[in-house]
Amino acid sequence: MTMLQASDRQQITRRFEEGLDGDVTVRLFTQGLGGLFVPGRECQTCEPTRKLLQEVCDLSPRLHLEVIDFYKDRQAAEAAGVDRIPTIVIEGGGATGGRLRYYGMPSGIEFSVLLQAILNASKRDSGLKPETREELASLTENVHIQVFVTPTCPYCPGVAGAAHAMALESPRVRADVVEVQEFPQFARAYNVRSVPMTVINDKTVFTGAVNETGLLERILETVGMTARGEDAAPSPEDAHASPGRATSL
């Protein structure tokens, strides 16, 4: 049974043919195939995620899937900072340094986040505004963004995509998109009641849709920096920078 419909494969193939400029490695940390599983280590979405990624990567010779057994190759998992499965790491020719991650199976609306991360990593282009790039270049400390999402949340892809774009742009930023229904322990730890919910460096927490400017503002606030030119009149887009609509769990 295939994961992608024929029409979906055709559309994705066209996007890859038009948008992939360089090779991308998709690394999946997962559970080993076959054999008996140790109680407590069952991963219901690991195999479907592997199948989905294999089908996606088969659509372009520029995409390379690397499957890593989380339990058998703990050294690789520890080196990558991976502590849960399934975890997807997007590597654009080494340019992303493993900073673009997706925890869980990118299904439903969130599938678009995976595709966009692959395309941007291939181009080595975040697509961010020049002023955002300038602010990120001025960061003096590391930033860890976690965006908690669900497959049916219409507001989640925008925040998740912005976080991934910032991780692609700056070597100081790492962005984790977490499918919260697959990791209930994180929902409890961070008291996630609606999505998208964003956590920055375990200090700044906010819920709801936010645009590129709004996310940048919260990054700078978290690290104690002030945006340059903040006294200037806000653009229409910036006027909607505060957290907006969310989906309750």
Domain 1-124: homologous superfamily in CATH: Glutaredoxin (3.40.30.10)
- The band of 126, judged by pLDDT with boundaries at 50, 70 and 90, is very high
Supply the pLDDT for residue 96. Answer: 66
Q: 208 φ, ψ to 5°?
A: 115, 165
pLDDT at 240 over 90: no
First and final C-alpha spacing in the chain: 30
Supply the pLDDT for residue 245. Answer: 86
- Cis omega (within 30 of 0) on the bond before 130? no
Supply the pLDDT for residue 244. Answer: 77
Scanning the chain, the segments in alpha helix (DSSP H) are 6-19, 46-57, 74-80, 111-123, 130-137, 156-169, 184-189, 212-222
CA–chain centroid gap for 57, Å, is 17
Percent of the chain's residues with pLDDT above 70: 88
Beta 204-207 vs 173-179: how paired, if at all?
A: unpaired
Supply the pLDDT for residue 228. Answer: 66
Class in CATH terms, 126-249: alpha beta
Domain regions of the chain by residue span: 1-124, 126-249
What span, in angstroms and rounded, lies between the C-alpha atoms of 249 and 238?
28
pLDDT digits over 33-56, tens only?
Answer: 654 445 456 799 999 999 999 999
Residue matched to tokens 């069952």: 42
What span, in angstroms and rounded, lies between the C-alpha atoms of 196 and 200?
13
Per-chain mean pLDDT for the chain: 89
38 CB-contact burial (10 Å; exposed 0-12 / middle 13-18 / buried 19+):
exposed
- Cis omega (within 30 of 0) on the bond before 48? no
Task: State the pTM of this model.
Answer: 0.90
pLDDT at 137 over 70: yes
Where does residue 34 fall: left (phi above 0), alpha (psi -120 to 50 degrees), or beta otherwise?
Answer: left
Beta 173-179 vs 143-149: how paired, if at all?
A: parallel
Q: 73-82 long-range CB contacts below 8 Å, 24 or more apart?
A: 76/29, 77/29, 80/27, 80/29, 82/29
Q: What is the mean pLDDT of residues 105-119?
A: 96
Tokens at 86, concatenated: 């399934």
What span, in angstroms and rounded, lies between the C-alpha atoms of 109 and 17?
22
In CATH terms, are 1-124 and 126-249 the same topology?
yes
Tokens at 109, concatenated: 């609306």
